[in-house]
Chain A
Amino acid sequence: MNKIVEKVIFSENVTKFVVEAPEIARSRKAGHFVIIRLDESGERVPLTIAGSDPEKGTITLVVQRVGVTSAKLLEKNVGDVIKDVAGPLGTATHIAKVGTVLAAGGGVGVAPLLPIVEEFKKAGNRVLTVIAARNKNLIILEEEMRRYSDELIIMTDDGSYGQKGLVTHGMESFINKEKISEAIVIGPAIMMKYAALTTKKYGIPTQASLNTIMVDGTGMCGACRVTVGGKTKFVCVDGPEFDAHQVDFDEMLLKLNAYKTEEKEAYERYLKSKN
């Protein structure tokens, strides 16, 4: 169970894994995530599903190095097993024919955005996509995104690829050009905050897919709670997608750092254990 069957290194810190999980591969939809645990002493972490092959019984996960668990996962190779993979969790993206959809992905957020872009395209929408990262090396899934996008803009902070600038610049160039019916943004919390502010300015309904700390992922613990429209919501069961204009991103940004000290110490211990 949960054997890694393919590993593609996108960059030093970002890797794609294709993992055997036949039941999840059959039942998952765009927007769903899984909770994984690497081994007996591991923690439970959520990862959005970037794709699946129901026939082969595999799901695709794109992982970025952020702490001990992701670092350990990046060391895994084809043939290795992930002890626990549970899902698909969360509420699937609501896909409909709405007209023109603006999809914006930042960093590793491009991976979970891919199946959503694919579904919106298949539902008959015109899809305009912006993918953004700090530099050229961190731009992922460009080819796949291009396949399902009517137009694609690439933005890099340092201008090493595509246009120089932030994701919001790319979004605005689409917005200024044509009428957008709906937007979806996925990426680091800070990126989603500013992407949401941008679309709000133009009155474009926008969904953001949130990536908070979780434990069980089924609504039991409440570690993932966020404030949306003044109300407390659980990302794992009420989300992960919410009306981006209602999300309290500032609170979420603080909460993502809840274990910053512990995580730093754990990471140092991990590096030491490797030497």
Chain B
Amino acid sequence: MENILEYLKEERAQAWRDELRKKIKSKDRTAIVRVKMHEQDHDIRSRNNLEVNLGLKKEEAVIEAQRCLDCVTPTCIKGCPVNINIPKFVKKIEKEDFLGAAKVLKETNSLPAVCGRVCPQEKQCEQECFYTQKLKLAPVAIGYLERFAADFERESGMSSTPDVAENNGIKVASIGSGPAALAWASDMARFGYKVTVFEALHEIGGVLKYGIPEFRLPNKIVDFEIDNMKKMGIEFRTNFIVGKTMTIDDLREAGYKAFFVGSGAGLPRFMNIPGENAIGVFSANEYLTRINLMNAAKINFDTPVLSGLNVAIIGGGNTAMDSVRTAKRLGAEHAMIIYRRSEEEMPARIEEVKHAKEEGIEFLNLNNPVEYKFDKNGKVTSMILQKMVLGEPDASGRRSPVPLENSEYEIPVDTVVVAVGTSPNPLIPASVSGLKTTRWGTIVVNEDMQSSIEDIYAGGDIVRGGATVILAMGDGRTAAAAMHKNLAKKLLTK
């Protein structure tokens, strides 16, 4: 940590930073109003699948970057799980060195265009920003600026591939290709390892591909970052299920020296209420996978999906928002969120809830499904909802929902998407004997993200149970640093 602070201080002391600081008075910087993100009109976007947020213009990005005070102690970095040198990249934007800004991002973040779109910045870097903390003003739009720099670089055609150390010949592998594994893989490649990423599905990217919809994160952006990683020498193997196609023991025999398990929160949870197995009741994973990964809603693709006029999504998280906004785009007249608490307790990002509301999503908060009814063909036709009230705070610190007696009522539905969370994928824990797991099935790790087995590290949802892209990436980076240290000690000093 000492070193990092020293490093940040040195960077800040550079002449160009000093010059920029002097150019505009702090008083004038704080007087600038936070930039607004350009968005597709809500009436139009709810009928297409194109990105909702359209990004910032150059001039806007530069002005927003001017707001940053280039603090002596940049608290924003504390809020970033992958420790981006935030003031440095923001100041590069102010200096109009946009490619330079992108390069700073890539020093610690292999997926800046992704993070600039899906990170909950309001709870991380922007939450820790001097504006939020001390001035009680809207924070510097760090997320928008990150997206701007990454997009600028990609669109410029002058994208830089991070420098990698000379190949040390040591083989390492990840299990899964989601954000945790990708962050791990790119750090390991930089350190000089021969990295293989094993993915069970036919596409690389994990939740970035099958989960997050096109209107929030276009696949071509994910693919661009993956192509960049291929240029770094990382090998990707699809249709490879570690534990099934080959076991970790087989891979050890094939010469792999260490593993990173980033296999995600595989199993969808259901509520175990009557009728939940009816036709037309999906897990959010299935609904989103059919549409995002398999392109079910597009003509010329073979995978079908049932998405009707009255679509109810159960849950209040980001996955629920992604599902309900997808349903709207597929033509639902009533695309509804059914959430058992109130909006205040909703785990979804504020931006997602705002966008959903603008798009005409109906919110049935303080409602909980108790039963699904179906016709003679087994197809869901309606659901029984029960009204809820808020009681005392529960273990999560949020006020717990309490059913209201005799408040049941019925509404017609033809599609239901259950988005009440997932459990860790048991495939890896089940196939590796001696791997310690919690009673929730997550892998137990130490502060280095190392599991109970020396050569196996883990991170992301398989450890956390259900978290964000950026926390997963942070885990990947922590694991890579520790793995490198251990392997270097063991194998490189000989």
A contact set with B: CB distance below 8 Å: 23-24, 27, 37, 41-44, 68-69, 83-89, 215-216, 218-223, 225-227, 232, 234, 237, 251, 254-255, 257-259, 262-263, 266
Contact B279 A232 (CB under 8 A): no
A88-B244, A251-B277 known; A215-B286 Cβ under 8 A: yes
Residue B233 at the chain A interface, CB threshold 8 Å: no
Contact A27 B301 (CB under 8 A): no
Q: Which residues 237-282 in B have Cβ within 8 Å of A in the complex? A: 238-241, 244-247, 250, 266-268, 270, 272, 276-277, 279-280, 282
* One of A88, A218, A254, A258 near B200 (C-beta < 8 A): A218
A41's closest neighbor in chain B, by CB? B301
Contact A266 B268 (CB under 8 A): no
Residue B285 at the chain A interface, CB threshold 8 Å: yes
* One of A87, A221, A223, A226 near B244 (C-beta < 8 A): A87
Contact B245 A84 (CB under 8 A): no
Q: In the complex, what residues of A have CB within 8 A of residue B162's CB? A: none
Q: Name the residue among A215, A221, A255, A262 with the largest chain B CB count within 10 angstroms.
A: A221
Q: How far is the CA of A263 from the CA of B246 in the complex (A)?
A: 34
Contact B267 A219 (CB under 8 A): yes
Q: How far is the CA of A116 from the CA of B280 in the complex (A)?
A: 34
Q: How far is the CA of A268 from the CA of B406 in the complex (A)?
A: 49
CB distance from A34 to the nearest CB of B (A): 9
Residue B425 at the chain A interface, CB threshold 8 Å: yes
CB distance from A49 to the nearest CB of B (A): 12
Q: In the complex, what residues of B have CB within 8 A of residue A68's CB? A: 302
Q: Could you name 8 residue pairs across A and B whose Cβ atoms are closer than 8 Å? A: A23-B240, A27-B247, A215-B303, A218-B425, A219-B427, A221-B285, A222-B268, A237-B426
Contact B245 A27 (CB under 8 A): yes
Residue B493 at the chain A interface, CB threshold 8 Å: no
Contact A84 B202 (CB under 8 A): yes
B288's closest neighbor in chain A, by CB? A221
Q: How far is the CA of A262 from the CA of B276 in the complex (A)?
A: 22
B contact set with A: CB distance below 8 Å: 200-202, 210, 238-241, 244-247, 250, 266-268, 270, 272, 276-277, 279-280, 282-283, 285-286, 289-290, 294-295, 300-304, 306, 377-379, 425-427
CB distance from A190 to the nearest CB of B (A): 15
B265's closest neighbor in chain A, by CB? A220
Q: Name the residue among A24, A222, A237, A258 with the largest chain B CB count within 10 angstroms.
A: A222
Q: How far is the CA of A41 from the CA of B295 in the complex (A)?
A: 8
CB distance from B40 to the nearest CB of A (A): 27
Q: How far is the CA of A223 from the CA of B426 in the complex (A)?
A: 17
A24-B245, A84-B238, A89-B241 known; A215-B290 Cβ under 8 A: yes
Q: How far is the CA of A69 from the CA of B378 in the complex (A)?
A: 25
* One of B238, B245, B303 near A43 (C-beta < 8 A): B303
Q: How far is the CA of A168 from the CA of B132 in the complex (A)?
A: 74
Q: In the complex, what residues of A have CB within 8 A of residue B290's CB? A: 215
Q: In the complex, what residues of B have CB within 8 A of residue A223's CB? A: 282, 286
Q: In the complex, what residues of A have CB within 8 A of residue B304's CB? A: 43, 259, 262-263, 266
Q: In the complex, what residues of B have CB within 8 A of residue A221's CB? A: 268, 283, 285-286, 289
CB distance from A67 to the nearest CB of B (A): 9
Contact A225 B302 (CB under 8 A): no
Contact A222 B270 (CB under 8 A): yes
Beyond the given A44-B202, A251-B277, A255-B277, could you list 16 further A-B residue pairs with CB under 8 A, ordered by the A residue number? A23-B240, A43-B303, A44-B294, A86-B241, A87-B244, A215-B290, A216-B200, A219-B267, A220-B285, A222-B267, A222-B285, A232-B276, A251-B378, A258-B279, A258-B280, A263-B304
Contact B294 A43 (CB under 8 A): yes
A84-B202, A220-B266 known; A41-B283 Cβ under 8 A: no
A87-B244, A266-B304 known; A220-B268 Cβ under 8 A: yes
Q: In the complex, what residues of B have CB within 8 A of residue A85's CB? A: 239
Q: How far is the CA of A153 from the CA of B348 in the complex (A)?
A: 60
B378's closest neighbor in chain A, by CB? A254
Q: Is the interface of A mostly helix, strand, loop or mixed?
A: mixed
Q: How far is the CA of A88 from the CA of B427 in the complex (A)?
A: 12
Q: How far is the CA of A68 from the CA of B300 in the complex (A)?
A: 12
Q: Is the interface of B mostly helix, strand, loop or mixed?
A: loop
Q: In the complex, what residues of A have CB within 8 A of residue B239's CB? A: 84-86
Contact A41 B277 (CB under 8 A): no
Q: In the complex, what residues of A have CB within 8 A of residue B282's CB? A: 222-223
Q: In the complex, what residues of A have CB within 8 A of residue B268's CB? A: 220-222
What are the 3 closest A-B residue pairs judged by CB atoms, nearest first?
A254-B378, A221-B286, A262-B304
Q: How far is the CA of A27 from the CA of B251 in the complex (A)?
A: 13
Contact B283 A222 (CB under 8 A): yes
CB distance from A27 to the nearest CB of B (A): 6
Contact B289 A220 (CB under 8 A): yes
Contact B241 A218 (CB under 8 A): yes
CB distance from B155 to the nearest CB of A (A): 26
Q: In the complex, what residues of A have CB within 8 A of residue B246's CB? A: 23, 27
Q: Name the residue among B244, B247, B270, B426 with the largest chain A CB count within 10 angstroms.
A: B244
* One of A215, A227, A255, A257 near B294 (C-beta < 8 A): A215
CB distance from A64 to the nearest CB of B (A): 17
Q: In the complex, what residues of A have CB within 8 A of residue B238's CB? A: 84
CB distance from B271 to the nearest CB of A (A): 10
* One of B270, B294, B295 near A232 (C-beta < 8 A): B270
Contact A254 B201 (CB under 8 A): no
Contact B202 A43 (CB under 8 A): no
Q: How far is the CA of A262 from the CA of B210 in the complex (A)?
A: 22
A219-B426, A263-B304 known; A232-B289 Cβ under 8 A: no
Q: In the complex, what residues of B have CB within 8 A of residue A87's CB? A: 241, 244-245
B302's closest neighbor in chain A, by CB? A43
A85's closest neighbor in chain B, by CB? B239
A218-B266, A266-B304 known; A232-B277 Cβ under 8 A: yes
A225-B277, A266-B304 known; A23-B270 Cβ under 8 A: no
